[in-house]
Amino acid sequence: MRFLERVSPAYQEVILPLCKWKILSTDELRKLSEYKNGRHAFYKIVRKLENYCLVDSYIDVWTNEKFIYLTDDGINALGDECDFSTVNRVTRFHDALAIKISRQISQHPYCYKVVPDYQIIKEVKKNLKHLPDAIITFNNHRFFSISLEIELTQKSRKRVEEIFEYHLTNRVADKILYLFNKESVFEAYKEVQSIMRSDGYQGMENLILVYCPELTKRGFNILEQEIEVGYRREKFKEYLNYEMSLA
C-alpha cells in the first residue's frame, strides 16, 4: 500500500474500512478501524483528513449522524486497496443508508458475505443493467442469498415493471428485498407486483416488499423489522432463521 502523502501514515488505518464499506458514520468508522484513543481524538483526525481533502462528509438530518467517505484523492492515496469511484453527492444519503442496512444484516449469525453494489460486477463476473444495493449471502449447510433494494422515491409504473422483470429474469439472488420508508411508494410497488402476478409473471413470490416507516431513523434495525412473506408475518431475523432451517 502506498503511504498517505499528506498526513501521518498512521492515519491510514483509520480510513481503511472505507475501502470495504465506502461510506460510514463516524461511530462505525471508529469501531471498524479499532481506534484505541478517545472519541475527541478520533474526530480531530477526521477533521484533519477532511482539511487535506482525503475524505468528505455530510450530516444526516434525520439522525444527526456524520458520514465519512473517501474523495478521489483519498482513493488514490490508498492505491490498490480501493477499486471504486468516490461517492456521488446526489446519492450519498441513499448509499449511506444501503451500507448501514447491509451492515445490520451482516450481524445475523448465518450471514456469510455482503457484496455492496460497487463490488457486484466483479463478484458475479457478468454485466448487469440494473445493480441491487447489495447481495447478501447466508450459509447453514446451504447457501441462500438476498438482493437488497432501498427505495426512497417514486418511480413510474413502467419503470417498476421493468425493474421487477429484470430482477426475475437476471436473478443474482434467491430473493429480492425491497425496503420503503414512504407508504405511497410501497403501495405503488405492491400494486405493480399484484398486477404482474395476475398477468402470469413467474417468481413474483421472490419479491419481498416491506414498508419501514422508521427506515431512516437512528434506532431502526432491519433484523427486528416485521415482514410479511406468504401467509407468515414475522421479524426479518426470524424469516432468515426459517430459511436457514431448511438446510
Which tens digit of pLDDT belongs to each residue from 197-218?
A: 999 988 888 999 999 999 999 9
In the numeric block, the cell 450471514 is attached to 111
Cell of 224: 427486528
**pLDDT value of position 3:** 42
Q: Look at residue 194 and give its three-state secondary structure.
A: helix
What is the percent of the chain where pLDDT is above 90?
Answer: 69
**pLDDT value of position 5:** 57
**pLDDT value of position 195:** 94
Give the pairing of strands 226-229 and 232-235: antiparallel
Give me the sign of the Cα torsion angle 78, 80, 81, 87. positive
pLDDT at 4 over 80: no
- CATH assignment, 9-87: 1.10.10.10
pLDDT at 2 over 70: no
Select the more confidently predicted residue: 216 or 12.
216
pLDDT digits (tens, 9 = 90+) for 118-161: 998 888 777 788 889 999 999 998 999 999 999 999 999 999 99
pLDDT band, very low/low/confident/very high, at 78 (cuts 50, 70, 90): confident
The whole model's pTM is what?
0.91
pLDDT digits (tens, 9 = 90+) for 180-202: 999 999 999 999 999 999 999 88
For the segment 238-245, the average pLDDT, to the nearest whole number, is 94
Backbone angles phi, psi at 46, to 5 degrees: -60, -45
**pLDDT value of position 24:** 97
Taking CA atoms, 171 is separated from 9, 49, 128, 174, 175, in Å, by 43, 40, 10, 7, 9
**pLDDT value of position 1:** 42
**pLDDT value of position 229:** 86
CB 132 within 8 A of CB 120: yes
What region, left, alpha or beta, does residue 79 occupy, with left being phi > 0 and alpha being psi -120 to 50 degrees?
left
**pLDDT value of position 211:** 97
pLDDT digits (tens, 9 = 90+) for 41-70: 999 999 999 998 899 999 999 899 999 999
CB 40 within 8 A of CB 90: no
pLDDT at 22 over 60: yes
Q: Which amino acid is at 83?
A: D
In this structure, whether the domain defined by 96-245 belongs to CATH 3.40.1350 is answered with yes
**pLDDT value of position 247:** 62
Domain boundaries, the chain: 9-87, 96-245
CA 23 and chain centroid, separation: 10
